[in-house]
Amino acid sequence: MKVGIDMGATNAGSAATLDLEELLATRLLVQGNSGSGKSHLLRRLIEQSAQWVQQAVIDPEGDFVTLAERFGHVVVEADAHSEAALQSVAARVRQHRVSVVLNLEGLDAEMQMRHAAAFLGGLFDADRDFWYPMLVVVDEAQLFAPSAAGEVSDEARKVSLGAMTNLMCRGRKRGLAGVIATQRLAKLAKNVAAEASNFLMGRTFLDIDMARAADLLGMERRQAEMFRDLERGHFIALGPALSRRPLPLRIGAVETQGRTGSPTLMPPPATPVEDARDLIFTTTGPEPPRYVRRPSTSASADLMAQLARGRPAAPPPSPDDEAEQPALLPLEPEETPEQAAEREARYDEVLAEVLADPEAPYRSLAVLYQDFLVRCRGRGVDGDRLALPAFRRRLATARAGAGSGDDPAWQRATEVAATLAEDIQPVFLLLARAALDHAPCPSDADVARACGSRSKGRGRRLLTYMEQRGFIASRSGLGNTRAIALPALGWETALGDPNADDAADASDEGGLFAAG
């Protein structure tokens, strides 16, 4: 059955209809500067299609939580859940076909990216039995798929961009239809924007954004000036779900409103000057502490430069100058081999404590590293000596259940794993450990847990990917068992059941939402 969504009216007065089934197959990109009516457009689309298709809204400003009362969306407060919990919630969202709003309000930019990536990953990794059609609306998409590195960490940007790329590039076969909105096309990653086949372009002023909008709509550059003249709520539509040629339209009214709304003029109160002075200068509570950073003096800069070059330090300053000189910390003494060995042993103990947590396999690398550093400080161990790349390698080895690092065979396995992509190194080492110990082949759940997921489907897909690249070779045995060989090492696991139940399945049981 063909379903047409009423988005408003064209400039000619006819109905502007969006083909919902075509949208699910071809995705949508909405662009417009702040105040152009993007959120209004998204709200119109969500309201008109709510009765026809399941929806998930990634909401960085908490603007769409008002959909809950009128249309029954469940609000998932991201700041009340860990990344692993959000991944589990997303899996159940697909299983039970519940429409939700992921409210990211209250989180900083990096945590918004991490939590959104975890939630999108849970939607993407759902079992094939739950691949029902779903509209995934992402507001302010440039925050989650930036075109260039910003103030957030590279890891947060990588996982968020990867989740958005999966949504737009590979989500269609899993029933996920991405609808992304952005203020700046120039700030949105091109590989994410390029996967949309339908476009609604609103008012924009910068030349680079107008040029990209014109290119996406197949218009000549000289026509790009028209985007400056569009009124609020007016857009140019193009795409198989909208119109085969650029079509100006006006978005219709909505039934719900955002919590913030548009600013309106409000005159300030008529407060006498003396009263106003008392209001702003009278202390009503304790003042927050202030930290004033003292600028470095030229003498201290010269001293630090001499230390960096290995030259003797200048004589101590006189008492008269001492107040102007910042205190210098003593240089850290060199470690003896015995101390280094003891520190490495303490690292192994702390890492074992970190991994003993049942939720550890599903936490991000950054969270595990922070937990590691905190535990190290509690034990009086200098955890900062283990940088993040080294921690990642040690973590992959520990997850594989590795024994002594002095074993030449295991050293060879880690050397081969180091040549592979970071996301498959833990799985390769898991298989290598089983093969070295002549243990049964790990199950799909074991493989999924090694790469930080609860989804057996993701474990199967990862093994398929590794076999296609020639990293592994699998063979079937009697009774639905399998063994996996590692050609680079010449090793093979014993036969094992890929569908074996384990703790990962049991830990994923419970209610649909912990909070909402």
State the CATH number of the domain containing residue 173: 3.40.50.300
Residues 348 and 243 in one domain: no
Q: Which of 194, 221, 251 is the C-terminal boundary of a domain?
A: 251
Whether 84 and 363 have beta carbons less than 8 Å apart is answered as yes
Q: Which helix (H) or strand (E) holds 245?
A: strand 243-251
The dihedral through the CA atoms of 493, 498, 503, 504 has a sign that is positive
Asked whether residue 245 is assigned to any structural domain, the reply reads: yes
Q: Angle 290-294-298 (CA atoms, 0-180°, nearest 5)?
A: 175
Residues 60 and 190 in one domain: yes
- Beginning with the edge strand found earlier in the chain, give each strand of the sheet holding 234-239 in spatial order: 15-19, 4-10, 243-251, 234-239, 198-201, 28-31, 176-182, 134-138, 54-59, 100-103, 74-77
Residues 237 and 360 in one domain: no
Q: Which two tokens stand for residue 1?
A: 């059955």
Q: Name the residue type at position 399.
A: R
Q: Which of 251, 266, 286 is the C-terminal boundary of a domain?
A: 251
- What are the contacts of 327-334 at 24+ separation with CB within 8 A? 328/300, 328/303, 331/307
- What are the contacts of 70-73 at 24+ separation with CB within 8 A? 70/255, 70/256, 71/46, 71/47, 71/99, 71/256, 72/99, 73/99, 73/100, 73/101
- Nearest CA among 82, 150, 143 for reference residue 118: 82
Residues 227 and 344 in one domain: no
Residues 221 and 365 in one domain: no
Whether 6 and 15 have beta carbons less than 8 Å apart is answered as yes
pLDDT at 59: 93
Looking only at the bridges linking them, the beta strands covering 473-477 and 243-251 are unpaired
pLDDT at 510: 39
Q: Angle 325-330-333 (CA atoms, 0-180°, nearest 5)?
A: 165
Exposed/middle/buried for 325, CB within 10 Å: 0-12, 13-18, 19+?
A: middle
Q: How many domains does the chain have?
A: 2
Residue-wise pLDDT tens for the chain (516 aa)?
578 889 999 888 888 899 999 999 899 999 888 888 888 999 999 999 999 999 999 999 888 999 988 898 999 999 888 888 899 999 999 999 999 999 998 888 889 999 999 999 999 999 988 999 999 999 989 999 998 877 788 888 899 999 999 999 888 889 999 999 998 887 888 888 888 889 888 888 777 777 777 777 777 666 666 777 788 889 988 889 988 888 889 999 999 887 665 556 677 777 787 777 777 777 665 655 544 444 444 444 454 445 444 444 445 555 444 444 444 444 556 678 887 888 888 888 888 888 888 777 777 777 778 788 888 888 888 877 788 777 877 777 777 665 545 678 888 888 888 888 877 888 898 999 899 889 999 998 888 888 777 788 888 888 988 998 889 999 988 888 999 999 999 999 999 999 886 443 434 433 333 333
Residues 241 and 372 in one domain: no
Asked whether residue 319 is assigned to any structural domain, the reply reads: no
Q: Angle 188-85-119 (CA atoms, 0-180°, nearest 5)?
A: 20
Q: How many CA atoms lie within 13 A of 300 on its CB side?
A: 13
Q: Which two tokens stand for residue 328?
A: 């210098």
Asked whether residue 187 is assigned to any structural domain, the reply reads: yes
Whether 488 and 425 have beta carbons less than 8 Å apart is answered as no
Q: Which two tokens stand for residue 68?
A: 């809950």
The pTM of this model reads 0.55
Whether 128 and 94 have beta carbons less than 8 Å apart is answered as no
Residues 244 and 343 in one domain: no
pLDDT at 516: 36
- Tokens 């592979």 belong to 420
Asked whether residue 477 is assigned to any structural domain, the reply reads: no
Domain around 48? 4-251
Residues 198 and 94 in one domain: yes
Between CA 155 and CA 302 the distance in angstroms is 36
Residues 208 and 93 in one domain: yes
Asked whether residue 264 is assigned to any structural domain, the reply reads: no
pLDDT at 508: 41
Whether 18 and 30 have beta carbons less than 8 Å apart is answered as no
Whether 175 and 186 have beta carbons less than 8 Å apart is answered as no
Residues 243 and 344 in one domain: no
Q: Which of 399, 434, 449 is the C-terminal boundary of a domain?
A: 399
Residues 224 and 341 in one domain: no
Between CA 10 and CA 363 the distance in angstroms is 48
Asked whether residue 460 is assigned to any structural domain, the reply reads: no
Looking only at the bridges linking them, the beta strands covering 473-477 and 481-486 are antiparallel
Between CA 439 and CA 435 the distance in angstroms is 6
Residues 238 and 363 in one domain: no
- Tokens 């960085």 belong to 60
Asked whether residue 329 is assigned to any structural domain, the reply reads: no
Q: Which two tokens stand for residue 381?
A: 């161990």
DSSP structure class, residue 227: G
- What are the contacts of 192-195 at 24+ separation with CB within 8 A? 192/141, 192/145, 192/161, 192/164, 192/165, 192/168, 193/29, 195/27, 195/168, 195/169
The dihedral through the CA atoms of 467, 472, 473, 478 has a sign that is negative
Asked whether residue 139 is assigned to any structural domain, the reply reads: yes
Whether 30 and 200 have beta carbons less than 8 Å apart is answered as yes
